[in-house]
Amino acid sequence: MNPPKWFKDFAGAWIFYSVLPELPWPKAQFKRIARFAPLIGIFLGTVQSSTWWILHLNGWPTSACVLLVISLGIIITGGLHLDGLMDTADGIAAGEKHRLNAMEDSRIGAIGVQSLLVILFAQIGALIKLSDLAIIAIPISTFWGRLSHLIAITRFPYIKPNGSAEFHKKYFQPEIDFLPSIIGLTFFIILLLIYMKGVLKIKLLFCSLLGIIPAYLIQAYLGNKLGGHTGDSYGAAIVITETFIFLTMAIYL
């Protein structure tokens, strides 16, 4: 049986956005995988949250859960987005003339290392503050982080000649490719409405929708700063958006 094209794209997204084993069927294609990035984000976030919950039930302290869950997120994404964060930070620091060369350089500069440390420390602090609410905050942040990727593809040109992520822009169709994200967010909100109660439910619903603000603003800042986006800046937007959502929820909740 010949599977639909969208299913092949989903299989491609599964491989591209994680290091999880390739699906046994169907054969992956990589033309329009970006539309599934937010759904893959929810899945990966749920894996992290489930790990947190299992550790918590077995008596692990919050600080240990935070460190292990963040490490798990880096492992299952292959560090792809953090690598993009460091390269983007180095590129911005290098100035307009040398920006792309600095981003393509395999060596990590001082600004790249600093950006990595700032992001990791901010995430650790926010998740410790959130404590058990982190199991809900993580899927919310991984969803909106990857939705920023879709917004960036829609709003900005791809500026790296013959870059490995150029196909995202080439094949993207906004009128269709945002639909899986809308369905995924709706399903997540329905689950919150069913299983959460009281004031906390209202606050979590608010946070679930508030993620659109950093998802829009952060990719816009990077896009304007760079004059467009590259695969590296897509990853940077994802990581920074996730971090801002963690911090916002930690303060608000």
Give the predicted TM-score (pTM) of the model: 0.93
pLDDT greater than 90 at residue 29: no
Q: Measured between alpha carbons, how far is 208 from 188 in angstroms, rounded to an integer?
A: 9
Residue 75 lies in a domain: yes
Mean pLDDT for the stretch of residues 132-154: 95
pLDDT greater than 90 at residue 146: yes
Q: Of 159-168, 173-182, 232-241, where does mean pLDDT reach its minimum?
A: 159-168
Residue 94 lies in a domain: yes
- 64 Cβ contact partners less than 8 Å away, ≥ 6 residues apart: 55
Beta-bridge partners for 229: 158
What are the pLDDT digits (tens) for 80-132? 999 999 999 999 988 888 888 888 888 888 999 999 999 999 999 999 999 99
Residue 51 lies in a domain: yes
Q: Measured between alpha carbons, how far is 211 from 18 in angstroms, rounded to an integer?
A: 22
Spacing of C-alpha 85 from chain mean position: 12
Mean pLDDT for the stretch of residues 44-60: 96
pLDDT greater than 80 at residue 68: yes
Give, for 223, the enclosing helix (H) or strand (E).
helix 212-226
Q: Measured between alpha carbons, how far is 18 from 119 in angstroms, rounded to an integer?
A: 20
Q: C-alpha angle with apex 213: 84 to 123, nearest 5 degrees?
A: 50
pLDDT greater than 90 at residue 52: yes
Looking at residue 183, what is its pLDDT? 94
99 vs 151, higher pLDDT: 151
Phi, psi angles (nearest 5°) of residue 57? -65, -25
Residue 2 lies in a domain: no
Please state, as a whole number, how many other Cβ atoms lie within 10 Å of the Cβ of residue 170.
10
- Please check whether residue 91 is in contact with residue 220, taking contact to mean a CB–CB distance below 8 angstroms: no
Q: Of 36-45, 48-57, 142-151, 187-196, where does mean pLDDT reach its minimum?
A: 187-196
Looking at residue 98, what is its pLDDT? 84
- Give the helix ranges, DSSP H, for 32-160: 37-57, 62-77, 80-94, 99-104, 110-130, 134-155
Looking at residue 31, what is its pLDDT? 83
Phi, psi angles (nearest 5°) of residue 164? -70, -20
Residue 121 lies in a domain: yes
Q: Does residue 3 have a cis peptide bond before it, meaning omega lies within 30 degrees of 0?
A: no
Q: Measured between alpha carbons, how far is 201 from 128 in angstroms, rounded to an integer?
A: 21
Q: What own/partner pairs with CB < 8 Å and gap ≥ 24 does 165-170 have? A: 165/230, 165/231, 165/234, 167/30, 167/31, 168/33, 168/34, 168/234
Looking at residue 2, what is its pLDDT? 75
Give the chain's domain count.
Answer: 1
Looking at residue 156, what is its pLDDT? 94
Looking at residue 5, what is its pLDDT? 82
Give, for 9, the enclosing helix (H) or strand (E).
helix 5-16
Residue 169 lies in a domain: yes
Identify which of 60, 81, 2 has the alpha carbon closest to the alpha carbon of residue 89.
81
Q: Measured between alpha carbons, how far is 179 from 42 in angstroms, rounded to an integer?
A: 15
Looking at residue 1, what is its pLDDT? 62
Residue 52 lies in a domain: yes
113 vs 22, higher pLDDT: 113
Work out the mean pLDDT of the chain and round it to a whole number. Answer: 91
Residue 50 lies in a domain: yes
57 vs 174, higher pLDDT: 57
Look up the domain containing 149 and give its range: 38-252
